[in-house]
Amino acid sequence: MKVLLIGGCGFIGSHVADRLLADGLQVRVYDRRPELFRTPLPGVEYVMGDLADTAQIYEAMSGVDAIIHLVSTTVPSTSNLDPEADITGNLVATVRLLEMMRAAGVRKMIYLSSGGTVYGIPRTDPVAETHPLQPISSYGIVKVAIENYLHMEHHLHGLQHVVLRASNPYGPRQGHTGIQGIIGTHLWRIAKGEQVEVWGDGSIVRDFIHVRDLADLCLAALNSDASGCYNAGYGEGASVNDVVRGIDRTVQATGGAPVVPIYKPGRSFDVPRVVLDITRARTDLGWSPKITLDEGIAESWDWVREQIGNHTH
Ligand SMILES: NC(=O)c1ccc[n+]([C@@H]2O[C@H](COP(=O)([O-])OP(=O)(O)OC[C@H]3O[C@@H](n4cnc5c(N)ncnc54)[C@H](O)[C@@H]3O)[C@@H](O)[C@H]2O)c1
């Protein structure tokens, strides 16, 4: 099977590429920039281009059996600043992508949606796929709209599609810009000798999934005949304070100083608790997450320290 990874040089995409290669699949990556932390992978065909460039993307899908769409041009916290750019960069570009796929005869897509935003403020705990979709950010609204277009394409034109509503992925190659999640952000700050910042009192609870478990789920989705939406989380919650305590244990175990966070005022868009019910993915896709938060934090810390070492020597 030959698979096109759109956004395959990103945090999640880079792990999906690893997983597919390990399974013996042929991988072509389409992205507007190379990977940030690694040199190009042997055996992968790279095409540099923008999701909005329909002619180039049409060419890139020639001979491909399936597409995994891992591009987002926005992040939840800033998408409301310019909803129009969010709609154009993600929704319009993806609707065009679906048209190209129909023309090229590519009839399978895995799409990375967002379990942390499509449901809005959760009314149940945990949150199952049947929960109402009432996002409170443009990012979430656009994700829901894309999910609906995929469903329409399935219904009208037989596209097999698996939507993965990812929770909070973390792990090696998570960026340190502070927009991709707290575990990467905290670890990078500690490694650079900076203090960790916590927004609010640290009681908010999220569902953290190791990025390799998420990559495994992408492969399971690729190998399945299922179509529909699937929560993609660990299925258990951890508070921001739990995460800080886990990081503290890991850092001290490697000879580092105790981690003492600075507490800042909470942010209005942070809902108190989002934990995903992952029964559907377990049942239909035969998948389950394997990496515990403690194991994942320890591995991510080793990776961050390696990166810092590489840059200073
Ligand atoms: N990281 C998270 O916390 C998280 C959580 C839930 C869902 N997701 C979703 O998973 C997907 C992948 O996220 P990620 O964390 O790997 O992000 P990322 O930013 O690390 O990777 C995205 C990749 O897409 C590329 N890209 C962006 N805009 C592009 C464009 N217009 N044309 C071509 N390439 C473009 C980037 O260069 C990057 O390599 C996204 O759809 C995101 O919304 C991420």
Are 162 and 261 within one domain?
A: no
- Residue 286 belongs to a domain: no
Q: Does 304 lie in the same domain as 196?
A: yes
> Is residue 185 in contact with ligand 1, taking CB distance under 6 Å?
no
Choose, from 111, 119, 139, 170, the residue flagged as catalytic.
Answer: 139
Mean pLDDT of the chain: 96
Report DSSP letters for 238-279, one per residue: EEHHHHHHHHHHHHHHTTPPP--PEEE---TT--SB--B--H
Side-chain half-sphere of 1: how many Cα atoms within 13 Å?
Answer: 20
The Å distance, Cα 71 to ligand 1 centre, comes to: 4
- The pLDDT tens digits for 20-37 are 999 999 999 999 999 999
Q: Which domain holds residue 248?
A: 174-205+237-274+291-312
77 Cβ inside 6 Å of ligand 1: no
Helix (H, G, I), strand (E, B) or coil at 273: strand
CATH assignment at residue 266? 3.90.25.10
11 lines ligand 1 (CB under 6 A): yes
* Ligand 1 pocket, residue 71 CB under 6 Å: yes
- Asked if 128 and 201 sit in the same domain, the reply is no
Q: Count up the domains in the chain and report the number.
A: 2
* 257 and 297 together in one domain: yes
In this structure, the answer to whether residues 45 and 129 fall within a common structural domain is yes
pLDDT tens digit sequence for 229-272: 999 999 999 999 999 999 999 999 999 999 999 999 988 778 89
pLDDT band at 313 (very low <50, low <70, confident <90, very high): very low
Does any domain span residue 116? yes
| CA 29 to ligand 1 center in whole angstroms | 13
CB-count burial class (<10 Å; 0-12, 13-18, 19+) for 129:
buried
Look at residue 184 in the predicted model and tell me its pLDDT: 95
Q: Domain check: are 74 and 199 in the same one?
A: no
Specify whether 19 is located in the same domain as 132: yes
